[in-house]
Amino acid sequence: MNKVPPTIQAIEASCCVTVPNKKKNRIYSTWMWVLTFLTYCSYHMSRKPISVVKNVLNQNCSNMTPPVETNNTHWCDWAPFDTEDSATLLGTVDSAFLFTYAAAMFISGFVAERMDLRLFLSVGMILSGCFCAMFGLGYSFKIHMLWYYILAQILSGFVSATGWPGVVTALGNWFGKSKRGLIFGIWNIHTSLGNIVGTLIAASFVTYNWALSFIVPGIIIASLGIIVFFFMVPEPSYIGLPNPNAKIMDEIQTSYVDKDKEVEARQRTERLDEEKAIGFLQALFIPGVVEFSLCLFFAKLVSYTFLYWLPNYIYHSTTFDAEGSANMSTFFDVGAMIGGVLAGIISDYSGMSATTCTVLLIFAIPMMFIYQAYSYVSLGLNTFLLIVVGILVNGPYSLITTAVSADLGTHESLQGNAKALATVTSVIDGTGSIGAAVGPLIAGPLSAANWNYVFYMLMVSDVIAMLLLTRLVVREVKGRLQQYRQRSHSRF
């Protein structure tokens, strides 16, 4: 109980003494689902403001006399983003966060496997809130130095990397492989919901005080970090319950009426703490990790380019203002939520996660072309196309970062080692995060030249992502055909 916060210890002592383990497990696993959902929702909420504020910063007014005014505020002369290369500078600011996040992700998984996840996440969330607010304070204190905004993004990227390995490991510790695609698919709605909430909060302040676009999300994520500190139980064994991914799970069947078995269960689950976390190279040798990691590099490149530049694209290709463009972009995230759940359901039903990703990637390529060509026609068509593109672009990304990562982190080759999940997750998502950094960095100068080039880059990236899964798709199809033949023979 030494890793359990005093609040949970009090609940255990007062309410859970006579609760059967099965019911207790259901209560705690549901709570962990909700808590980790809100946790990562707040992480994404704190990353979204920059894409919204970008529309009021990315305005070159060097040829305008006098400077254009919006609500009595000279947005377009906000140095250092007031020059002809403002799009490139903002792309650099994006990449400062994303490259740092990608590099820190590999370290984060290593650390997460070796320390208390509750402390790991709560500290990461509180610091994420501080550094998110730091960017907005640049407006409050009239700071016009590029290095300040880059530093804020570097610090934010470093601490934000605590989120994904932490929440996936904590949730994976409570749920086994059964219906994992559906459970994680619904759970992964937090990513898009966080984007939507972050967009709406940032948009509500962007036209008159964009400092609050960062400060308010910063306060929210830091507050949730305090809740995590006092109420998270990241490992079932801490309260005498079995880890569903542990090799001794099947041996542990207890109830509160059998005290001898209860004591035995506690002793056996404590052995989980003695298991050694795997290293980076060990994670790479798990079948499928390399292919899915490289695929995620390109899939996340596409997703994060939309995340960081879609409001700006809508702003320049339609008649919407900065707030309207930001609100319009949320329909992409609505589609992303549907795509994550849909991909999870299909993967669970078919047992073919690589094939599921490939099919969605195939349809995403022409849909991005259609969106770019016809989104300006009408509001209704723009909305519909954004939702469809969101489904197809984020479906593979969501499936790989959740159910696939959890499956590989508990792969049979690990022989039941329950301390591999964070490392595998960080390897896969860290590789993907490098792609997430590259996409927005390239999109900045490409968008300044012609937005068509941005969409060409995204379509080519999805083609490469699809091709990287070829070997796994062939293996899945062969396995399914073999099962079909065996069933056919058994009938005769």
Residues 6+ apart with CB under 8 A from 182: 341, 344, 345, 348
The kind and range of the H/E element at 129 are helix 117-140
- What's this model's pTM, rounded to 2 decimal places? 0.77
**DSSP notation for 329-349:** HHHHHHHHHHHHHHHHHHHHH
316 phi/psi in degrees, rounded to 5: -90, -15
| CA distance linking residue 70 with residue 383, whole number of Å | 27
| CA distance linking residue 446 with residue 307, whole number of Å | 16
Length of the chain: 492
| CA distance linking residue 102 with residue 434, whole number of Å | 5
**Domains, the chain:** 6-241+277-490 (1.20.1250.20)
Residue 405 sits at the vertex; the CA angle it makes with 288 and 192, to the nearest 5 degrees, is 130
| CA distance linking residue 236 with residue 266, whole number of Å | 10
3-state secondary structure of 73: strand
Under a CB-based contact definition with an 8 Å cutoff, are residues 428 and 284 in contact?
Answer: no
Under a CB-based contact definition with an 8 Å cutoff, are residues 49 and 202 in contact?
Answer: yes
> What is the residue-level pLDDT of the chain in tens, covering all 492 positions?
567 898 998 888 887 667 788 889 899 999 999 999 999 999 999 998 998 888 787 655 554 444 444 443 434 567 888 777 887 888 889 889 988 998 998 888 888 878 899 999 999 999 999 999 999 999 999 999 999 999 999 999 999 999 988 998 898 889 876 666 778 888 989 988 998 899 999 999 988 899 999 999 999 999 999 999 999 999 898 888 887 766 544 444 444 445 454 455 455 445 544 455 566 677 787 888 899 999 999 999 999 899 888 988 998 888 888 888 888 999 999 999 999 899 989 988 888 999 999 999 999 999 999 999 988 778 889 899 999 999 999 999 889 988 787 777 665 655 555 566 777 888 888 899 899 889 988 888 898 889 999 999 999 999 999 999 999 999 999 988 888 888 777 665
> CA distances (Å), 364 to each of 389, 395, 397, 455, 464, in order?
6, 10, 12, 12, 13
